Amino acid sequence: MFEKILIANRGEIACRVIKTARRMGIATVAVYSDADRDALHVEMADEAVRIGPAPAAQSYLVIESIVDACKATGAEAVHPGYGFLSEREAFPLALAAAGIVFIGPNPGAIAAMGDKIESKRAAAKAKVSTVPGYLGEIGDTKEAVRIAEEIGYPVMIKASAGGGGKGMRIAASRREVEEGFDAARSEAKASFGDDRVFIEKFIVDPRHIEIQVLGDKHGNVVHLGERECSIQRRNQKVIEEAPSPLLDERTRKAMGEQAVALAKAVHYDSAGTVEFVAGQDRSFYFLEMNTRLQVEHPVTELVTGIDLVEQMIRIAAGEKLRLRQKDVTFTGWAVESRIYAEDPFRGFLPSIGRLVKYRPPKEGSAEGLTVRNDTGVAEGGEISMFYDPMIAKLVTHAPTRAAAIDLQAEALDAFCIEGIQHNIPFLAALMQHPRWREGHLSTAFIREEYPAGFETRAPEGEELRILAAVAAAIDHLNNARRRRITGQMSGRNVRFASNRVVRLGEDVQQRVHVDGDLDGPVKVALTDDRGNPSETLELASKWWPGEPVWSGLVRDRDVSIQVRPILNGFELAYRGIRVPARVYTEREAALAALMPERAVADTSRVLLCPMPGLVKAIHVSPGQEVKAGDPLAVVEAMKMENILRAERDGVIKELKARPGDSLAVDAVILEFA
């Protein structure tokens, strides 16, 4: 077994590998760019080596720098994580030339399967069912259009190298192919150093299901069941689960056997994933093979009890698999949510900045329930514009799918992040979505269920009652504390009104009667406009002002609600609902209703930068007429290119930015006449 390994990656996957290596008694070496000097993975590792400037092309993608770091530290092996160099055939070859072991598959398997074009050719040779498409390299946009029209729309334009949604576009028309082809090539070049793309038929209403395989250097291969990854946005996975609610035992067996056969055909010898696109009728087609550890591997680990990173290390060291297919068993259900630095209320645009607060839910296992948080950040850390915007992966495991979803919802409610925008409100809302809970999924789920984007909804029903009761309890606790402040003037004690009005947002009001003390539970009676009680909720919590999450019991049920102070009140976040809460006396409520509403600034004559990023292109000039839908500019953020389009017809008055400019969120790019 190795004594020291180097992790050629960053963020949560570097931290994840370090944890397993530490448990196995293996010393670890981290590498870092200038942007990651103070990153968590650098702190966790036994040693750390700087490998270059912030851009990945000058640091994490430079093979020579990784090899030099191994030589300088005496690392015997390298774990590549995912992304970056993990699927580059040249990387293990360079390591082997330097006498360093690659903790991953052999270069031949990477060449056969890591390249999406070559993997489809290999799969077709092995008589594996594949999606119809053009597997050759495509030279230019004109050729791409011709191929797309021969295949028939819609088509998928996809980068040959890499993954993670980078360099991928769905095109349903000639115009979308023309725009998407160049964008896909540009993203692929920036992310993987390889601008080759191919085109294949896009299966309508598909599901994304993948099989985890393990192979050793002695010809043994097993599969560890499937993961469903159909909840995606812009071809980027958002939520994964294991097993899939679609598959039956017959289909699972068939997919597993096909994945194992393909892995054996290319002499695969590490952890890898065979991905399939599946129809709602359980038909399936080979999509690609990822010759690396997947982002979503924790759900497989939780349902099988197998540490995939440990298996990769043991296989790389030459050990035989101790597992046979009959030894692989599945227990319960696991759900994973990817927590991204993005603003779901503004079209999921990237967000960067410092994590002023980062308080994940408590991890651990009890009574058959498990909460796990894989992360590469800590409070005070910074989310950089140079890398993927994923902050953490929150994973829950329970005996049933419904229980795993409920546990995930509770954990999301307790996950506090401040300082940047994040997608927790969206994830929390999705956990309550009836279609998700019923398992009726497809890769178009988010586009179909949120066609106008994500917006918070007004609380109603049980959620309204819980939010109103917690708001009243928080206000009541603050008042009770004020009664105990020392040094107050003598005289008649101040009495706070028990009848209050809770205002949630602008339109929702709930009258309540509050009773209780600091040392005991608080009873909140919900009343009608005449003061007649309709329902009483008892709340018990150890929450204290200043804590970002109110956790306690509401009617003996565990509830977590995020609390953030705002002017004259606090903002509450629960189950995807984010709403300002203000608690008034009855007189204050009457006066508040008379206050004028603040007018929103008119931004209709300017194009604002929707996220912090780099201006890649400006497609218009002063005096130019534009039509609704015309591209105006391209802004790159976190390795993704975003095309900004005209919302309506108009004339360009003045440009305020140029290609190459780094802009902050809401910076003006151009003005309309």
Q: Which amino acids are annotated catalytic?
A: 288
At residue 271, φ and ψ (nearest 5 deg) are -80, 135
Furthest CA-CA distance within the chain = 92
Q: Which two structure tokens, joined as six digits, stand for 469?
A: 């009761």
DSSP 147-180: HHHHH-SSEEEEESS--TTTTEEEESSHHHHHHH
Q: Are 101 and 76 in contact (CB under 8 A)?
A: yes
Closest CA to 510 of 460, 569, 571: 460
CA distance 274 to 115: 13
Spatial neighbors of 593 by CB under 8 A, at least 6 apart, are: none
**b vs e for 257-283, b when ≥16 Cβ sit within 10 Å of the residue's Cβ?**
ebbbebbebbebbbbbbbbbbbeeebe
Q: At residue 586, what is the residue type?
A: E
Closest CA to 230 of 168, 273, 280, 274: 280
CA distance 473 to 478: 9
Q: Which two structure tokens, joined as six digits, stand for 17?
A: 């590998």
Q: Are 232 and 246 in contact (CB under 8 A)?
A: no
Bond prior to 580 in cis (omega within 30° of 0): no
Side-chain-side CA neighbours of 546 within 13 Å: the count stands at 1
CB burial of residue 482 (10 Å; 0-12, 13-18, 19+): exposed
DSSP 385-438: TTS--EEEEEEEEESSHHHHHHHHHHHHHT-EEESS--SHHHHHHHTT-HHHHH
Side-chain-side CA neighbours of 367 within 13 Å: the count stands at 3
What is the strand order of the sheet 631-637 is part of? 640-645, 631-637, 613-618, 662-663
Q: Give the three-class secondary structure for 127.
A: coil
Closest CA to 664 of 640, 637, 641, 644: 637
Spatial neighbors of 323 by CB under 8 A, at least 6 apart, are: 214, 222, 306
CA distance 447 to 453: 8
Spatial neighbors of 24 by CB under 8 A, at least 6 apart, are: 1, 310, 313
CA distance 114 to 194: 13
SS3 content of the chain, % helix, strand, coil (to 5): 30, 35, 40
At residue 310, φ and ψ (nearest 5 deg) are -60, -45
Q: Judging by DSSP bridges, how do beta strands 207-215 and 221-233 pair with one another?
A: antiparallel
CA distance 425 to 576: 4
CA distance 374 to 389: 14
